[in-house]
Amino acid sequence: MTKHAPRSHEPVHSRRTFVRNMALGAALVGGGAARALAAELAEATKGGERKLGVALMGLGLYSRGQLGPGLRLTKTCRLAGVITGSREKGEAWSREYGFPEKNIWNYDRIHEIAGNPDIDIIYVVTPNGLHAEHTIRSAGAGKHVICEKPMANSVSDCDAMIAACAKANVMLSIGYRLAFDPHHIELDRAAREKDFGALTRLSGEDSWRFTTRAWRIEKALSGGGPLMDVGIYVIQAACRAAMAQPVAITARELPKTRPELFNEVEEAIEWTMEFPGGVACRGSSSYSRNNNFFLAEGDKGWIRIEPAFGYGGLEVTTSRGPLSIPPVPQQSLQMDDFASCILTGRQTPVPGSMGRDHMAIIEAIYRSAADGGRRVLVQRA
């Protein structure tokens, strides 16, 4: 589930697949992004077909502040319902967004959505530890699924989610909004086209100061601390820049400065990812400071995004000077792209298999940190 300080079924394991997905993202969003995606969306909705209906499952901060407003800007999908534990909250959403009250469901009634033609997509925005159950039940209702990151609390849960969506013949996508942001698309392009030579030295951090007790620091619901919450963005950026999955991890958890608050999860953690060909990334994430950047260095220069992982305000600088890149509505592009995938049969560039790969990396980081920094191999599917 996404939080930030102010500020399908096809496996994705090979270098070839990473390059293909990066190229697809660039075609949709980078450079002539908007034009390319707009053309596909126009074709997909030619003839006046209705917009695909999205039901948001979980009406917390991210749904309120980002997904709901983002759905007002989408071209091929619309907010058509909600799934919530509060009928009162659902009715407020119904009034604000104009969908009928019959399209308000409780979590224990997800199966009833199967008979509702208004809903095509369920966007799972509940706490991490509930993602597997809610994705599987959504697929069982015959609906396509976007699951917010991190995909789940374990690789085994990710596997079960992928299998359930495959069995139901529905698409599964992970809420990786930054795959549709032109600042990160520029990083992808620079890596692919070797603007700064082969990128071999990578580093990044995503941290914010967490001050109150909430589900994000309860192990059963969160799966972990800042690594699961925001450190995953560093992992995602590194895999794109390296155009591969890491083969091994070394990591260490930093001493806790507020052990009374972080008594179930880490407060801060550092790790190194080893990629094929000698590429390495040093990453870190903390709940005790505010910092977010990503740097990729090659033998001909460097590219840096800072801020790198927020909903807006991202900036790209390079060894040749700053780049001027207009902002985009990340969530709107993300949801429009998934709707377009459904309408056209195109594979999503952020499938469940990608979320599963990133969970395997997170598990390796935690195993290494728990074992005193021992080098740990990343599990393959």
Least confident of 16-25, 130-139, 175-184, 272-281: 16-25
Quick: pLDDT tens for 119-141: 999 999 999 999 999 999 999 99
- Structural domain including 76 reads 15-177
When divided into structural domains, the chain yields a total of: 2
Residue 38 placed within a domain: yes
Least confident of 10-14, 167-171, 277-281: 10-14
Quick: pLDDT tens for 313-369: 999 999 999 999 999 999 999 999 999 999 999 999 999 999 999 999 999 999 999
- For residues 32 and 149, state if they share a domain: yes
Residue 259, pLDDT above cutoff 90: yes
- In the structure encoding, which two tokens stand for residue 59, read together? 């009406």
Show which of 152, 177, 202 is a domain's final residue. 177
Residue 340 placed within a domain: no
- CB neighbours of 147 closer than 8 A, spacing ≥ 6? 124, 131, 134, 135, 161, 172, 173, 174, 175, 352, 355
- For residues 189 and 239, state if they share a domain: yes
- Of the candidates 219, 79, 266, 230, the one whose C-alpha atom is nearest the C-alpha of residue 149 is 230
- For residues 359 and 210, state if they share a domain: yes
The per-residue pLDDT for 44 is: 54
- Catalytically active residues are 149, 233
- For residues 313 and 210, state if they share a domain: yes
Gyration radius from the chain CA atoms? 20
- Of the candidates 14, 4, 48, the one whose C-alpha atom is nearest the C-alpha of residue 291 is 4
Residue 336 placed within a domain: no
Show which of 119, 145, 177 is a domain's final residue. 177
- For residues 183 and 166, state if they share a domain: no
- For residues 216 and 166, state if they share a domain: no
- For residues 20 and 146, state if they share a domain: yes
CATH number of the domain encompassing residue 133: 3.40.50.720
- For residues 307 and 196, state if they share a domain: yes
Residue 367 buriedness (CB in 10 A; 0-12 / 13-18 / 19+): middle
Tell me the C-alpha distance between 6 and 293, whole Å.
14
CATH number of the domain encompassing residue 241: 3.30.360.10
CA dist list (Å): 147 to 155, 171, 193, 270: 15, 11, 31, 26
- For residues 224 and 359, state if they share a domain: yes
Tell me the C-alpha distance between 187 and 195, whole Å.
10
Residue 170 placed within a domain: yes
The per-residue pLDDT for 24 is: 42
Q: Phi-psi category of 47—alpha, beta or left, where left has phi over 0 and alpha has psi -120 to 50?
A: left
Residue 87 placed within a domain: yes
- For residues 203 and 245, state if they share a domain: yes
Residue 11, pLDDT above cutoff 80: no
- For residues 299 and 271, state if they share a domain: yes
